[in-house]
Structure 1
Amino acid sequence: MSEFSGCGFVVTGYSTGGAREAVVCTGRDIGKVGMGKMKEKRHHVFVYGTLKRGFPNHHLLREANYEGTFRTDEKFPLVIGGEFFSPYLLHRPGEGSQVKGEVFRVDDKMLSRMDELERVGVNYTRKVVKVHNGDNVTEVYAYLKCNYTEELLEAEHHDEYLDRRYVPRHLRPKVEVANRMELAAVRS
C-alpha cells in the first residue's frame, strides 16, 4: 500500500454488474465508493422514412420516446429510389423542401441499431440538422445520403414520405457480396 501514500485524491472508475464504482485513495486510506447507476446517453433523431410510426422499420424504435412531428429547418431533397423504393434524404442543403418527419429520443443501443440499418459510412451519414415544430427549433441527428447517383438527384422531390412500396431487407432477394460490390461500382 505504500504506492498510494501521499497520493491525495485519486478516482478510477470501473463497472461491475451495471453499477459504477470508484476507488478513492486519500493518504493511506483506500476505499470503494459506489456512484450509483450511470445514466445512458439519450439522443434525438429525426426520422423521415421507413423508421416513422406505421412504417416497416419502426420496430427498431418501439422503446424510443416519440417527441412529435417536426420539419427540417433547411430544405433537403427527399426522394424515393432504387429497386426497393427506399426513401433518401440527399445531403444537398438548400434544395428540395423542408421535410416533414418525426423526432424520437433514443438510447445508445437504439442509435447503434439505426446506424446499422442505415449502414452509416456506406449508405448514409448521420449528421446534426436543425428541425422545428412551430416556434421550437432543435438540433437532432438525421440520416443523410451523401453518395448518390445523378438518377436519385433527378428523382421527384417530396416534402413527406408516404410511399408504401418499400421492400424491407428480409424480403429482398439475396445477392452475393461480390455482386453487390460490382453493382455499387457500376452505379457510381
Structure 2
Amino acid sequence: MEDKDRQLVFVYGTLKKGQPNEHIMSNPETGKHIYLGSAQTVDKFPLFVASKYNIPFMLTEKGTGLRIHGEIYEVNNLKMIALDLLEGYPEFYTRNIFPVEKEDGEIVQAWIYQLREVDPRLLETKTTIIAKYSDGHGGRFYVRHENCGKNDDLF
C-alpha cells in the first residue's frame, strides 16, 4: 500500500480474527488490509459488552478501565470507509488516534473506534469492565443486526 493510502487501525471486538465481523476486515471487496499482530492500548479505557445485540463498546474515558487487548491492521482508505460504515462513524462511534503497543513492544499510533455517547439504558445492560473481548463473553453472544446507527436501535 502507498503511504498516503495507509492507515493503522486497532480493533478490539467483533472485527478481530475468529470473531463475528471478521469477514468485513478480511473481505478484499471492502479494501486492502494487512494484519500486523496483536496489540494493546497504552492507555486504559473502559470496555464492556452491552445492548440486546451484545456489542463490545469501548468508551472515550481515557485513564479508567483496563489496557485493551486487540489487533492492529494496516488498511487502505477503501477499507477505512467500510469500517466507518460498520461502526456508524461519525454519528454513533467516534474514532480517535491513540498509542498502542505491538507484541514486540513497538508503540504506534492507530485509529480506535469508541462509543460517542453513552445512553444510560446501555449501562443497565453492560457486563463488567473487560480487557479482552471474545464472542460469548459472560454467556453473551453477539447478535447480528443491520442499521444500528443510533442508541435507540440498541434496546
Q: TM-score range by the shorter chain?
A: 0.7 to 0.9
Alpha carbons of structure 1 residues 169 and 76: separation in structure 2 relative to 1, 3 Å: same
How far apart are residue 96 of structure 1 and its match? Answer: 0.5
Query: Which residue matches 2:108?
Result: 138
Listed as ranges, the gaps of 5+ residues in structure 2 are 27-31
Would you say 1:59 and 2:50 are equivalent positions?
A: no
Matched position secondary structure for 1:144: strand
User: Per-residue displacement from partner, 1:30-54 (whole Å, max 9, x unpaired)?
Assistant: xxxxxxxx87611110000000001
The alignment-based identity, stated in percent, is: 30
8 Å CA contact retained: 1:75, 1:95? yes
User: Per-residue displacement from partner, 1:60-89 (whole Å, max 9, x unpaired)?
Assistant: 211410001000000000110000000001
Alpha carbons of structure 1 residues 71 and 153: separation in structure 2 relative to 1, 3 Å: farther
**Farther-moved stretch of structure 1 (147-156 vs 104-113):** 147-156
Counterparts of 1:145 and 1:52, CA distance in 2:
18
Query: Which residue matches 2:86?
Result: 117
Matched position secondary structure for 1:169: coil
Counterparts of 1:88 and 1:69, CA distance in 2:
19
Higher RCO (CA-CA < 8 Å; seq separation 6+): 2
Counterparts of 1:114 and 1:125, CA distance in 2:
12
Task: Name the aligned partner's letter for residue 159 of structure 1.
Answer: A
156, 162, 165: which one aligns with 2:134 = 162
User: Per-residue displacement from partner, 1:103-147 (whole Å, max 9, x unpaired)?
Assistant: 011111110000000001221001101100242111000101120
8 Å CA contact retained: 2:14, 2:135? no
Query: Which residue matches 1:28?
Result: none
Within 5 Å, give how 1:63-102 maps onto structure 2: 63-102=32-71
Q: How many residues align?
A: 141
Q: TM-score, normalised by structure 2?
A: 0.81
Counterparts of 1:44 and 1:159, CA distance in 2:
20
Counterparts of 1:162 and 1:140, CA distance in 2:
21
User: Per-residue displacement from partner, 1:122-174 (whole Å, max 9, x unpaired)?
Assistant: 2100110110024211100010112012354573100000133001125xxx9
Counterparts of 1:72 and 1:152, CA distance in 2:
23
* Segments of 4+ moved more than 6 angstroms: none
Q: TM-score, normalised by structure 1?
A: 0.67
Alpha carbons of structure 1 residues 68 and 152: separation in structure 2 relative to 1, 3 Å: same
Matched position secondary structure for 1:67: strand
| Higher gyration radius (CA) | 1
Query: Which residue matches 1:184?
Result: 152
How far apart are residue 58 of structure 1 and its match? Answer: 1.1
